[in-house]
Amino acid sequence: MDPGRFTQVDATTWRVDPWGAMRVPAIIYADENLIRDMDNKVYDQAVNVATLPGIVQACYAMPDAHWGYGFPIGGVAAFDPDRGGVVSAGGVGFDISCGVRTMLTGLAVADVLSVQKSLADSLYHQIPAGLGSRGAITLDALEMDAMLIGGARWAVERGWGEARDLERIEEEGCMAGAQPDWVSERAKERQRREMGTLGSGNHYFEIQAVAAIYDLAVADVFGLVQDEVVVTIHCGSRGLGHQIGTEYLREMLVAAKEAGIELPDRELACAPINSEVGRRYLGAMRAAINCALANREILGHFARRIFAHFFPNCDLRLLFDVSHNTCKVEPHIVDGRRRELFVHRKGATRAFGPGHESLPAALRMVGQPVLIGGSMGTGSYVLVGEATSEAKAFSSACHGAGRALSRHAALKQWSGRQTVDDLEKEGILIRSPSMRGVAEEAPGAYKDIGAVVAAAEHAGLARRVARLRPLICLKG
């Protein structure tokens, strides 16, 4: 993407002033190299989002931004319902509440390396992964609705998790306002056998070493210790969330036309927040958030069970669990006034700074853990939210490295088998039911994760705490 299309504000802030139908500016946080490597569609999509009714302050794109459906992935936009604001299914994404959790093991890297192959094989055999994967849990109609209302709390009550986890999960494990009645039977049917499964694409279950500490004081609060091992799980609401997104996109195309909203792109289909379709979508989307929170809690339970087999005295503690693809009502200060806004984060992470009232007491002094997934070959990062991110992007940060190449382009460059063999030589064991999936997710298909997090830090979105190196990766 040509940086000349932007006004450069500083080393990591690039701005498009309103033109045409834009109601607010579009702002991208990235360094010049990251901007040059982005697809031109990131510019187009950010400008298009800035035209939507009721948008507040600006449309933002994070340093990992890339082309998505309607909104760029790595996009953040807030809407005011009292000013005609809208909710967009494409602005949330199809994998509703796709997110990540990191669990502390207290184990040394040497402990895990002594059983690395057996542990990798055990994960592969016990964690259902891959397209359409199904698990041992089957939900009838009553349990499905209970799960969609209860989220991770439901999972804990059924014995698939621990009560102490809940305070370390966004929304304390349960998103209020979920409406199972507004989720179709087709969406529920797709989810009946998918609880406790990883799915496909960029979802993963990874055993990681803490390879570097950048902020010792915050790392100490988080419980991160150099050369100890953590477990990170990345997945979402599986078939249920995808079905909800698909169905409401069709409804929103009609709703937007009826509301007189001029869409620059059909993929920006949306409905006024204060409309019947808007309210129904929000109720269904919140149910999908609970589905994702329950799913990750169950996978965390499976992690504890597998680790207990290899390390009987191991106690896996949850550091944090946070979602990426959501629309949430949050208070934010705009022009000196506190306003309740509907914040869309698509491929972006909530990143509350120190002192935020919604954070658990143990983390409130330092800020929210911001978990940044990389690729299976290059590692991941743990950051901490900065107070400055409130004004910069409604307390948001990037969510991962971000794709540099499409899956189609990746398939042309890499072989799944060769990627697995190459990574094994580097000490990283990959297990996956799909060699095609491994090729699509090859490390070279992603941006430089180090450059992405450095840009996020320079922009004041979040600050580096630790770098994680993969030891074992189960890919979906």
**Residues catalogued as catalytic:** 399
**Distance from C-alpha of 269 to C-alpha of 281, rounded to nearest angstrom:** 12
Residue 205 assigned to a binding site: yes
CB 289 within 8 A of CB 230: no
203 known member of a binding site: yes
Considering just the CA atoms, what is the radius of gyration of the chain in Å?
21
Is 206 flagged in the annotation as binding?
yes
Angle (nearest 5°) at CA 121 between 120 and 124 = 90
402 is in an annotated binding site: yes
Retrieve residue 261's tokens: 């909203």
Residue whose pair of structure tokens reads 């799913």 in the numeric block: 295
Task: Please report the DSSP string for 138-173 in residue order.
Answer: ---HHHHHHHHHHTHHHHHHTTSS-GGGGGGBGGGG
Asked if residue 4 belongs to a known ligand binding site, the reply is: no
Q: Which two tokens mark 60? A: 């933002």
Q: Is 242 annotated as a binding residue?
A: no
**374 annotated to bind ligand:** yes
> From CA 51, how far away is CA 277, in angstroms rounded?
20
Q: Is 324 labelled a binding residue?
A: yes
Strand partners, 396: 350
120 is in an annotated binding site: no
The verdict on whether residue 381 carries a ligand-binding annotation is no
Q: Apex CA 323: angle with CA 196 and CA 218, to 5°?
A: 110
Q: What is the 3-state secondary structure (H, E, C) of 408-467?
A: HHHHHHCCHHHHHHHHHHCCCEEECCCHHHHHHCCHHHECCHHHHHHHHHHCCCEEEEEE
Task: Find out whether 99 is annotated in a ligand binding site.
Answer: no
* 401 carries a ligand binding annotation: yes
Tell me which amino acid residue 21 is: A
Q: Is 245 annotated as a binding residue?
A: no
- 202 among the known binding-site residues? yes
Residue 123: both structure tokens together? 């994960």
Please state the residue numbers annotated as binding site. 95, 202-206, 234, 324-325, 373-376, 380, 399-402, 475
* Sequence ranges of the binding site for Mn(2+): 95, 203, 234, 324
Residues of each annotated binding site for GMP: 202-206, 324-325, 373-376, 380, 399-402, 475
